Copies of this chain bind each other. A is one copy, B any other.
Amino acid sequence: MRHTLREIAERINAKLVPDSAAKQEVGGIASLESAGPNDLVFVESAKFLDAALASRAGAIIAGEFAVNGSVAKPLLIVDQPRLAFVRVATFLQEPREAQIGVHPTAVVHPNAKLGLGASVGPHSTVGDAVTIGARTRIGANCSIATRVAIGAGCTIESNVSIYSHTTIGDRVHVHSGAVLGSDGFGFVPDRKTGHYEKFPQIGRLQIGDDVEIGANCTIDRGALDATIIARGVKLDNMVHIGHNVQIGEDVVIAAQTGISGSSTIGDKCIIGGQVGIADHVTIESGVILGAQCGVPSGKIIRGAGVVFWGTPARPIKQHLKELAALARAAKSKE
C-alpha cells in the first residue's frame, strides 16, 4: 500500500523538504543499496547523505544536517532518523496473513482460554488451564504446558517449548527453538556417595511486556521462587538465563551470553555477545559489558555508562592499559 509523503511526514512528525513533494508516494523501505523509487531510506549523519542522494530511493529520512544546499530528492527531516525509519516501517508493513483460530491438527486442552483473534498453529499443544491473550499467534510445533499465561498481541514462532507456570506479558515476541521455564541447574552432592541429587526446580518464570527472545534462547524457571525478565528486555539468539535471575527494564543482551543463577541485572544495561555472568552477581543499572567479558561469582559491577571488558571484567580503560603493558613486556624481551 502506497502513502503520500505528506501522510508519512504527519505520521512521524517530520518536516517535508520541499513541501511541493507532498503528493509523491512511496510504499516501502529499503537499504541505500537496494532501494528503488518506491522506497524510503534513512541517513543518520552527513557522511552518508551523498550516497543516499545517489541511491534510487524515492525519498530520504534525515536529520537537520541534510537541509543545507539544493535538494535532489524529497527529505523528511526528523530528530531521530533511525527511529523515524523504524516507525515508517511499522506503518508501511503489510498486514500479516489472517490465520485466525486453532489449526485442526493442534491439540488444545478444553480448559485453555484463547482471546479474541488468537491463533494456534499446526501440531502445537496447549495444556490445561493455559490462557492466551487476544491476537496472540502461536506457531507450528509449539508445546505450551499447563498453567502458562501468555498476554495479548504476542508472537510465538515455531518449535518453542514453554514449561508450566510461565507467565508472559503483552506484545512479546519469542523466536523459534526458544525454551522458556525449563528446570534450573542445581544439584546437591551427597558427601557420602559423591552422587548428585537434584535440588527442587519448582519456581516460576515471569516475562514482562514488550520483551523479545531470540532463537534457541533458554530461560530457566526459579528454583523455589521466580526468574524475572522485566518489560522491554531484548535477548539475541542463544542467550542463556539461569534460575532466579532478575533482569531489569530495557536491558539488551547480545547473542550467546549466559547469566548464571540468582544474578541481578539493573535497568538499561547493555550486555555484549558471549559474556559470562556467574552466579549471585549484581550488575547495577546502566552498566555496559563488552563482548566475551566475564564476571566472577558474587561480584558487584557498577557505573552507569561505564564499559567493562575482559575476564575478570574491569573498566575498559584499565583493561586497555593492561593490554598495552602486555604488548610492551613481550616486545622488550625480543
Please list the residues of chain A having a beta carbon within 8 angstroms of any beta carbon in chain B.
29-31, 33-34, 79-80, 82-83, 85-87, 89-90, 93, 97, 103, 105, 107, 121-123, 125, 139-143, 145-146, 157-159, 161, 163, 173, 175-177, 179, 182-183, 185, 187-191, 194-200, 202, 210, 212, 214-216, 218, 220, 223-225, 232, 234, 236-238, 240, 242, 250, 252, 254-256, 258, 260, 268, 272-274, 276, 278, 291-292, 294, 296, 310-312, 318, 321-330, 332-334
Contact = CB atoms under 8 A, between A and B. Distances in A.
Contacts of A325: 326, 329-330, 332-333
Contact of A252 (B143, B145, B176, B196): B196
Contacts of A93: 200, 202
A215 B182 contact: yes
Given A33-B225, A86-B197, A333-B321, A240 B255 contact: yes
Main secondary structure of the interface of A (DSSP, over half): loop
B276 A276 contact: no
Nearest to A80: B191
A260 B255 contact: yes
A85 B198 CA distance: 10
A187 B252 contact: yes
As for how many copies of this chain the complex holds, the number is: 3
A83 B143 contact: no
Contacts of A194: 250, 268
B175 A177 contact: no
Given A83-B188, A159-B161, A322-B326, A179 B182 contact: no
A258 to B, nearest CB: 5
A252 B242 CA distance: 15
Nearest to A233: B196
Contacts of A260: 254-255, 273
A177 B123 contact: no
A33 B23 CA distance: 63
A132 B295 CA distance: 43
Contacts of A105: 105, 107, 123
Nearest to A327: B322
A143 B161 contact: no
A236 B34 CA distance: 32
Contacts of A236: 185, 240, 242
A80 B190 contact: yes
B322 A225 contact: no
Given A291-B296, A326-B329, A196 B234 contact: yes
B216 A179 contact: yes
A140 B87 CA distance: 39
Of A176, A232, A311, most B-chain CB atoms within 10 Å: A176
Contacts of A278: 272-273, 291
Of A223, A326, A328, most B-chain CB atoms within 10 Å: A326
User: Lowest 7 CB-CB distances: which A-B pairs, in order?
Assistant: A143-B158, A161-B176, A325-B329, A179-B215, A89-B200, A321-B330, A31-B224
